[in-house]
Amino acid sequence: MTQHRARQRFGQNFLTDAGVIEQIVRAIDPQPEDNMVEIGPGLSALTGPLLAHLKHLSAVEIDRDLAARLRLTFPGERLTVTEADALEVDFAQFGNDLRLVGNLPYNISTPLLFACMQVADYVRDQHFMLQKEVVERMVAGVDDSDYGRLSVMLQYRYRMEKLFDVPPTAFEPAPKVVSAVVRMIPLADDRVRAHDTVLFGALVQRAFAQRRKMLRRALGDWAALMPWDEVGVEPTARAEQVDVAGFIRMSDALSARGL
């Protein structure tokens, strides 16, 4: 097969470090019957080692050349390659109890995380390699400087754990940034959810759009509707000082007032 030239527009940095590949596969712990979907299999650095444990693997790859190459490398029915943009794929089509994995293209990582959240009900877990800074924002808590909208929105839906860092030298070509692997497990407990998830998202967005402002200002006309004592949040607090449960209480208070 001819050599593949990495395409920057598809965020192609291929894993080449055998030790890191093994570390990731061990963290995923694939079992034969798992319903696994790999996003962006590329040159199959993870695909092959995953398939060694699985009866079947689905893969979504946007690059036509790489999709064709994957079908040649893994003929037969154990690997199903969907040539598509992962941002436009309805992951529900792959069935239930999904295990999503991927060394993700960094240029689409945030929209992809939000797209995956839409199908979280069908997902058992997700193991993704992302830019280290993004992983740190995802797992940050109230007192961390990285705490923001991404932390709140994802922690609302997932239990997350940063597993380990991966240096640029593990890839070809080497990216400019350090990467990290994160495990995400959808929360099953409905009781921690807001009554209105769309309103919850809008509230978090409003609050963090002006994160240095006090909430009573940042929330605009919603601030006047907020029963601050009842929700247990100071109107003089900033978004970065409110935990996920606080945002849920605020959102529910607004729903109760007809928003």
154 residue type, one letter: L
Q: 111: part of which helix (H) or strand (E)? A: helix 109-118
State the minimum distance, in angstroms, from the CB of residue 66 to ligand SAM: 5
Distances (CA, A) of 158 to 27, 44, 103, 184, 185: 17, 28, 19, 6, 5
The binding site for ligand SAM (CB under 6 A) comprises 10-15, 39-43, 45-46, 60-63, 66, 85-87, 103, 105, 108
96 in a labelled binding site: no
Cis check for the bond before 227: say yes or no (omega within 30 of 0): no
State the minimum distance, in angstroms, from the CB of residue 61 to ligand SAM: 5
CB of 118 closer than 8 Å to CB of 112: no
Q: Which is nearest to 46 in space by CA: 75, 68, 26, 69?
A: 26
State the minimum distance, in angstroms, from the CB of residue 149 to ligand SAM: 22
15 in a labelled binding site: yes
Nearer Cβ to ligand SAM, position 101 or 254? 101
225 in a labelled binding site: no
Nearer Cβ to ligand SAM, position 61 or 125? 61
Residues 141, 242: Cα–Cα separation, whole Å? 10
Structure tokens at 217: 């200002």
Q: 56: part of which helix (H) or strand (E)? A: none
Nearer Cβ to ligand SAM, position 7 or 257? 7
Nearer Cβ to ligand SAM, position 41 or 201? 41
Residue nearest to ligand SAM (CB): 40
85 in a labelled binding site: yes
Residues annotated in the binding site, as ranges? 13, 15, 40, 61, 85, 103
Residues annotated in the binding site for S-adenosyl-L-methionine, as ranges? 13, 15, 40, 61, 85, 103
